Amino acid sequence: MEKARLAVDIGGTFTDLCLEWNGKRTSTKVLTTPRAPEEGVLTGMAEIMKLSGAKPGDFGLIIHGTTLATNAIIERKGAKTALIVTEGFRDSIEIAFEHRFEQYDIFMVKPSPLVPRDLRFGVPERMDGRGNVLIPLDEVAVKALAPKLKAAGIEAVAIGYMHAYLDGKHERRTRELLLEAMPGLSITLSSEVSPEIREYERWSTAVANAYVQPLMAGYLERLQAAFEAKGSRAPIHLVTSAGSLTSLETARRFPVRLVESGPAGGAILAAHLAAERGLDQILSFDMGG
């Protein structure tokens, strides 16, 4: 007997599930449970198993899409996050760049950064544009940040140093020092999450990742444990913002890759359906959760 394929999508209002098994397709819709999203998934799974006759042990693959990371950023419900950068550059995340949709509107109100200025810290260190160390990492200054982070109730930290995309050793060492003082702290390195040139793009991505990581990592761990407790050993893959799939472990480390995955998946499905029907012009709508 072929293994079943289960698809789960969590929206802001509804959680949708679809099961393919033995040539049949079964679907259901239940209310999303924002406090603990896995509860809505389990409710939907129970309903879909009742309708199809399948059991958790029959699952061979689980595909999961979710707007949880997107909603956390939009609603500003992520973790209390700090940003550590090269000394002298803590305002780069707010200055951003010149290109914007209202180029000459001097009264335009931009969204506030996910990390306020008082939670952005500069550390003496510097690499040049070829990855050479100009100023060694000041480890004493890094260690001195730990009490400040604790006093501020920080849950997550993004670390972004100049030219770290060439060599992230200063970022990695900073993480080591902070974890010695604050075990279990959620830390995102810009050199890992987005090893790209230009500090604003890299640091803003790192900040967004750090902001949603505690929420998403906790949810994904609970979801995996819940599926296993029900008897499912099927791998769980998450839909990414590029419309591809990633592993559960990668999604835990880099949840920013899940942001806006819903519209990406919808566009890919629309293109697939259009190709099946020989249509070269279609209009796709994303109505949200």
- What is the model's pLDDT at position 99? 74
pTM confidence score = 0.92
Cα–Cα distance, 39 to 32 (Å, whole number): 8
pLDDT of 216 higher than 80: yes
**Structure tokens belonging to residue 226:** 């819940």
> Could you give the 3-state DSSP secondary structure of residue 19?
strand
Task: Provide the 3-class DSSP secondary structure of residue 3.
Answer: coil
β-pair partners for 126: 135
Q: Please, are residues 157 and 192 in contact by the beta-carbon 8 Å criterion?
A: no
Euclidean distance between CA atoms 44 and 41, whole angstroms: 5
CA distance 12 to 34: 8
Q: What is the token pair recorded at 138?
A: 């000041």
Q: How far apart are CA 205 and CA 150, in angstroms?
A: 23
Angstrom distance (rounded) from CA 89 to CA 204: 13
Q: Tokens 């670390």 correspond to what residue?
A: 159
Are 113 and 207 in contact by the 8 Å Cβ rule? The answer is: yes
> What is the tens place of the pLDDT at every residue in 159-206?
999 999 999 999 999 999 999 999 999 999 999 999 999 999 999 999
Of 67, 87, 85, nearest in space to 77 by CA = 67
Residue type, 64: H
CA 96 to CA 204: how far, in whole Å?
9
Residue 260 pLDDT > 90, yes or no? Answer: no
Both tokens of residue 56?
């958790």
Residue 127, helix vs strand vs coil = strand
Whether 43 shows a pLDDT value over 80: the answer reads: yes
| Chain segment 54-69, per-residue pLDDT in tens | 999 999 999 999 999 9
